[in-house]
Amino acid sequence: MDGNGRWAKKLGGMRIIGHQRGARSVTNVIEAGVELGLKYITLYAFSSENWNRPQDEISGLMDLLSDTIDKKKETLMKHSIRLMTIGDINMLPAKVKLKLEKIIALTAANKGLTLTLALSYSGRNEIVNAVKKIVRCYKEGNKEIEDINEQIIKDNLYSSELPDPELLIRTSGEIRVSNFLLWQIAYTELYFTNTLWPDFGKDDFYKAICEYQKRERRFGKTGEQLL
């Protein structure tokens, strides 16, 4: 979800204004996902690298996250949305982490859309952490290294409960994946748009999905094999 800062700069406002407007786009996309019957949406909300931003912007983002959790609790329950996180949430302010843990527990039994927030997230860190967990397990259990396979790696990722994404949407004209779900997007369809995230609405979301539906996903096979 990129372009909040540039959107605010165009209007001569502070970056946090762009983030606040971006929160409205989050609501629009979630509503669209519910209407379409989607099972999973993952939002790249705050990367590990974002901790290097100015402290006032970080504080504003954490306050916005805290406020949003409070405001959207009823909506999550109304639509049976399950909230999850991936990333190192121990890095978050204590009050924000506590709120997240409470609402994750509250929505755990919901059967609708699974909404995952990537917070303090890094794809490379996720893989490193998975490797450490696997090595530790194998050292303690005297297991054979040769037994390690893709499934074991997946089972030790932050996103172990989630399927690999089918579509990745990147806004604001940036054409890169920026350390997001590096293991999981091996066969994900990529969609790039020049639209800044605060301007990204339901119609933009539908357009991305329509583009996805036109694509042929071969997973290494030929088109003829899929017929």
Q: Using an 8 Å Cβ cutoff, are 78 and 108 in contact? A: no
156 is catalytic: no
Q: Using an 8 Å Cβ cutoff, are 113 and 39 in contact? A: yes
Q: Using an 8 Å Cβ cutoff, are 97 and 90 in contact? A: yes
Task: Please tell me which residue in 4, 28, 50, 204 is annotated as part of the active site.
Answer: 50
**Which residue is listed with tokens 């194998």?**
138
DSSP, res 226 = G
Task: Please tell me which residue in 2, 4, 156, 204 is annotated as part of the active site.
Answer: 2
Measuring CA to CA, how many Å separate 25 from each of 28, 84, 129, 140, 197?
Answer: 5, 19, 32, 47, 7
Measuring CA to CA, how many Å separate 48 from each of 6, 22, 25, 121, 213?
Answer: 20, 19, 22, 5, 32
50 is catalytic: yes
Which residues are part of the catalytic machinery? 2, 50
